[in-house]
Amino acid sequence: MSSLRMFAVAALVASVSLGGMLAKAAEPNAAAKELVSYRLEKWKTTHAEGDQGDKLVETLKKLRCEVKVGSHGGHTDVNYRCPKWQQLALKSHEEAHQWEGWLKKHGFETKHDH
């Protein structure tokens, strides 16, 4: 797993649609105890309305995903992928499971290390 990039979720900054979880990319720190690895090799498209699309795009970018946005028919199409394994360093087991659930719900493959 030498190709993994580390970054920590140290504070909450961007609301994520359908879950209220928040993320901030930061440098890894000693407080991080749990690791969640993730990737999404193929493009996935999600339809979003209003500011939910903006929040999702912001969060996906903080997770170092490739993101493309298009609008039509009164909604926003958010296309995203993350072909290389990335890693979140989290402070608690509960937070790691919340992120793992959110990532899976959005189509990501995950691994949770302690």
Domain ranges of the chain: 5-113
Average pLDDT over residues 53-67: 94
Burial class (CB in 10 A: 0-12, 13-18, 19+), 87: buried
The whole-angstrom separation of Cα 27 and Cα 101 is 23
Residue 14, CA distances (Å) to 19, 45, 88, 111 in order: 12, 20, 15, 23
Report pLDDT for 21: 43
Task: Write down the pTM of the prediction.
Answer: 0.71
Q: What is the pLDDT of residues 81-90, one digit of tens each?
A: 999 999 999 9
Question: Does residue 96 contact residue 36 with C-beta atoms inside 8 Å?
Answer: yes
Report pLDDT for 8: 27
Neighbours of 8 (CB within 10 A): 20
* Helical spans, DSSP H, in the chain: 51-62, 93-105
- Least confident span in 17-21, 43-47, 82-86: 17-21
